[in-house]
Structure 1
Amino acid sequence: MPPRRRARLSSRPYSSVAAAEQCPRGWLAARRNRPSKRARRLATATAQGGKDDGTPLTDEILVGIFAGLPGFSDLVRCAATCRQWCRLVSGEAAFICRAARCRPPPLRSLALGFFYSHRDGAVPRFAATASASRRLGLRRPSLNALVEGLDDGLFDASRVVASRNGLLLVELQRRKRERALKLCVCNPMTGEVTVLPPLGGKEISRPFACAIFTAEDDDESHLSDPPSAPSSYRLLLVYGRRGFTACRTYSSDGGRWGPQAKAITAVRLGKKTMASMTGTGAVVVRNVAYWRAMGIVLGVRLHTLQAEHVDIPLTGHDPAGNTLLGVSPNGRLRVVQVVEQMMCRATGKVSIAIGVSTRSTAGDKWDPLLVIEVVGRFLPAETTWMRLRWLCEKSGVVFLTAGCAGDQTSDVYALSLDRQEAERVASHHGGDGDLHGYEMDRTSYLRSLAMDEDDDDP
């Protein structure tokens, strides 16, 4: 039974029914209102004894082989081989992702869109990419549509503060003169919403930065006893106290916040520096969360709270700091910046490009800058300004806004750094409100492989 509404501020899932279902019920789940034709055919074939793939191996042996594949792309190719293998890969996605040690390649299809607030006090809404709309049949719901039948305005006047690996961290509305911090973690793909225990005003100070760690970030999670669940996660809050930088962690397994601790060797961060860390999100590399903090990159290791400071490679062309952090396909920290290059000295016309710098393997310097021309290639030639808004860590997709001088609105584009492709996601997007990109986790992606591929078949 779902918990009573008055007990909403507990660590239990807001909708335990949605959380316990095997099939995803979130409004971002593929074809959640009806099973696809392919899924119905697979269920019928299974009930009738299934279709033999030509091998004498049992399903259990095949799943074990899939979980031991060295590359994530190999796993996707296996799912495309036959219907039986697709059923096994998608149906046992949670086990395979927990046991697999391979790092997934940058798949653009992981990025589904972005969350935004179109006005102050409104429920954050979702804008899907064209590919996600076609693939998953997405609409434009608000966060209040996460759980079917939710109508009590849990997310009214809320704001998204973090987005990573298929999870959203949302700060819930505060009453007047209330200083308590109320957060909830939700998964739009499954519909699970967990309201965390509130933190009083004496337990944390604003502004704060947050990072989400999931089971995918722990390379040794499959060796733990008992093994951590694929849906488990941990949160790391970083905020300033008088004289030091403080940290606080939350574990979904324990359902409670840990005590306040001091970040080791971290410099004292002021409110302006801390505020600059909250808008562009955190990336995680080997259990270390990185934020862009003014002119540096601040890294904090989850288990030891050891801090490190990395200088940002300055291009000299963008003093405003139009900069995002990301992760390269080989798992290294990278920085994405706006670069303005002069095209003609006589006319003063500039070409806006994006520069990508990747941390060296040794971690002591930055590799040579890679420049990607944007205006005239992906954006209209008359574009005069561009702002980087969000970099999706797993897919390498950058959400950016661009427009012309004097226009009150702008367009939102999704640019794939690795595939060098772009699409316009939203037109006439007004305002400079918060924008948080959203991408699926590996488990949701594998489950989506079994969705319908031939809706038009009779």
Structure 2
Amino acid sequence: MPRPQRSRRRSVAPPYTRKSARRRDDNGTSLPDDALAGVFARLPHPADVVRCAVTCARWGRVVTTSAAAISRSLPPPVGRFLPQLAVGVFHLRKAGTTARTRCTPAAPQPRFLAMASGRRLLGCETIPASIGSFFDALDGAVFDYSRPVASRNGRLVLELRRETRADDVTLCVCSPMTGDAVVLPPLSGEDKPTDYGCALLTGDDLHPNNPRRGTKSFQLLLVYNNRRRGFTALRCYCSDTGRWGAEARSAVSVSDGELRHIGGAAVLRGVAFWQLDHDALGTRLLGVSPDNRLFLVYLGMLGGDGTLVAKISYFDIPGGDGDDFQFQNGRKESSSDEEAITVHHMKMNCRDLRTHKLRWIGEKNGLVLFTMGDGGGAHALNLQEGTVEKLADEGHSWGNAVGFETDWAAYLSSIAHHPRN
């Protein structure tokens, strides 16, 4: 007699299994991605977006894909620097000098040195050692013999050279965090500047009242001496048109010595400012405070025990935007406010004070990059917290050295990818 067949039941997963998996992915919300991005963009502070990004995998993915739009909609943090935006330093290892007074690099490409916050942002065990390592889609050789010129708002400006001495000036504006790069038309012949200052203006500067416009747009402003015509000239590249504008005569004359040692520009309300005091070059830096005030920072020490002191002098620039700014001979001499930041855990001596060089200041992160001679090394002074991070034992013999900070979009994206940060 055949055995009775039992009815086969189809194995069905318990209903709570699928729901629990969904909860692990999206925290139980049923809002579509675009609606979630709209909610994140209306949060009152960037820190709130960071907390949302690490809540669950789906929210982190939404923040990553909409990071640019979210960051442009958030109100800027007022009253404090943001050290977590600092990534690191691009620098040249100097081996000699050229007729252009620029250093000859001992290595083919600018080297990269990560700060502690940069190591957390990059979220990888192997930190890129050179600029070419950040751009997988490009031939790394394009950056050979290049030198860092300026950086701002997540972008880095490099001067590209096919060899240690070039017949033209070719500049590249790139984003190491995203891998984007734009090579500008070369300036050659009579258009070629010798020594020059460079200022980078991004979409936040160009369209302050329209945060959704011009996310990737930028302008690059050069100041240099036109020796053929005998005046200080200005020239601007616009990413929207893809070409250089006509040369204009500057209302302020700048000497060749000042241009030879000119540092990075500070940008306030769409206007670029350079430090032109030749005696103070290398010992003072020009920056912008979180409450949008122009300031000079320089280092000193307390006479008793040699404690490091950062002295900050603020300047009031009368007028509004653009041409409404008021100047006296192109310079602002008087300071309306001063403060001192004492770094108790770092000591200096007279030799350190004589040989130190201020290299770069982060506009958003408030870090001051400086080096000291005779093995004093490279350091980053945190103006927000009053602390110093030692970056390297070397540094004083570096050629061009430019710090790099990311923008909010790349920062939010990195937080979503690496929630432990």
Any stretches of 5+ residues in structure 1 without a counterpart? Answer: 1-43, 296-317, 344-348
1:358 to 2:324 alignment? no
Contact (CA 8 Å) 1:243, 1:268: kept in 2 or not?
no
Alignment partner for residue 87 of structure 2, among 107, 112, 118? 112
User: Counterparts of 2:300 and 2:350 in 1: how far apart (Å)?
Assistant: 17
Indicate how the Cα distance of structure 1 residues 319 and 50 shifts in structure 2: closer, same or farther if over 3 A, else same.
closer
Q: Pairwise mapping of residues 40-439 of structure 1 onto structure 2 (< 5 A)?
A: 51=25, 53=27, 57-103=31-77, 105-119=80-94, 120-121=104-105, 122=107, 123-136=109-122, 137=124, 138-148=126-136, 150-151=138-139, 153-173=141-161, 179-220=167-208, 222=210, 228-241=213-226, 242-263=229-250, 266-277=251-262, 280-294=263-277, 322-343=283-304, 350-360=306-316, 366-374=335-343, 377-379=345-347, 384-385=352-353, 386-402=356-372, 407=374, 409-429=375-395, 431-439=397-405
User: Counterparts of 1:361 and 1:151 in 2: how far apart (Å)?
Assistant: 45
Secondary structure, counterpart of 1:65 in structure 2: helix
User: Counterparts of 1:367 and 1:78 in 2: how far apart (Å)?
Assistant: 41
Any stretches of 5+ residues in structure 2 without a counterpart? Answer: 1-17, 95-103, 320-331
Range 66-75 or range 357-366, more displaced = 357-366
State the match for 2:322 in structure 1: none
**Superimposed CA distance per residue, residues 342-391 of structure 1 (whole angstroms, 9 cap, x where no aligned partner):** 33xxxxx75542101223485796343211234x5235779733332211
User: Counterparts of 2:200 and 2:237 in 1: how far apart (Å)?
Assistant: 10
Secondary structure, counterpart of 2:411 in structure 1: helix
**Superimposed CA distance per residue, residues 216-237 of structure 1 (whole angstroms, 9 cap, x where no aligned partner):** 22344637xxx53422211111
- Amino acid paired to 1:115: F
User: Counterparts of 2:65 and 2:165 in 1: how far apart (Å)?
Assistant: 48
CA drift of 1:328 comes to 0.8
Indicate how the Cα distance of structure 1 residues 257 and 135 shifts in structure 2: closer, same or farther if over 3 A, else same.
closer
State the match for 1:28 in structure 2: none
Contact (CA 8 Å) 1:215, 1:221: kept in 2 or not?
no
TM-score w.r.t. structure 2 length?
0.78
CA drift of 1:205 comes to 2.4
Secondary structure, counterpart of 1:90 in structure 2: helix
Indicate how the Cα distance of structure 1 residues 175 and 96 shifts in structure 2: closer, same or farther if over 3 A, else same.
same
Aligned residues: 373
Contact (CA 8 Å) 2:306, 2:348: kept in 1 or not?
no
Contact (CA 8 Å) 2:282, 2:358: kept in 1 or not?
no
**Superimposed CA distance per residue, residues 392-413 of structure 1 (whole angstroms, 9 cap, x where no aligned partner):** 111001111135xxx3x33111
- Amino acid paired to 1:260: E
- Amino acid paired to 2:223: V
CA drift of 1:431 comes to 0.9
CA drift of 1:81 comes to 4.9
State the match for 1:3 in structure 2: none
**Superimposed CA distance per residue, residues 417-451 of structure 1 (whole angstroms, 9 cap, x where no aligned partner):** 01212211112335142211011111100101112
- Structure of larger gyration radius: 2
User: Counterparts of 1:98 and 1:214 in 2: how far apart (Å)?
Assistant: 12
Secondary structure, counterpart of 1:419 in structure 2: coil
CA drift of 1:161 comes to 1.0
Q: Percent identity?
A: 38
Contact (CA 8 Å) 2:67, 2:409: kept in 1 or not?
yes
Secondary structure, counterpart of 2:173 in structure 1: strand
Task: Indicate the RMSD between aligned Cα atoms, in angstroms.
Answer: 3.2
Indicate how the Cα distance of structure 1 residues 108 and 45 shifts in structure 2: closer, same or farther if over 3 A, else same.
farther
- Amino acid paired to 2:186: P
User: Counterparts of 1:250 and 1:412 in 2: how far apart (Å)?
Assistant: 33
Indicate how the Cα distance of structure 1 residues 331 and 69 shifts in structure 2: closer, same or farther if over 3 A, else same.
farther
Range 68-77 or range 394-403, more displaced = 68-77
CA drift of 1:238 comes to 1.3
CA drift of 1:127 comes to 0.5
- Amino acid paired to 2:217: S
Indicate how the Cα distance of structure 1 residues 200 and 412 shifts in structure 2: closer, same or farther if over 3 A, else same.
same
TM-score w.r.t. structure 1 length?
0.72
Q: Greater helix share, 1 or 2?
A: 2
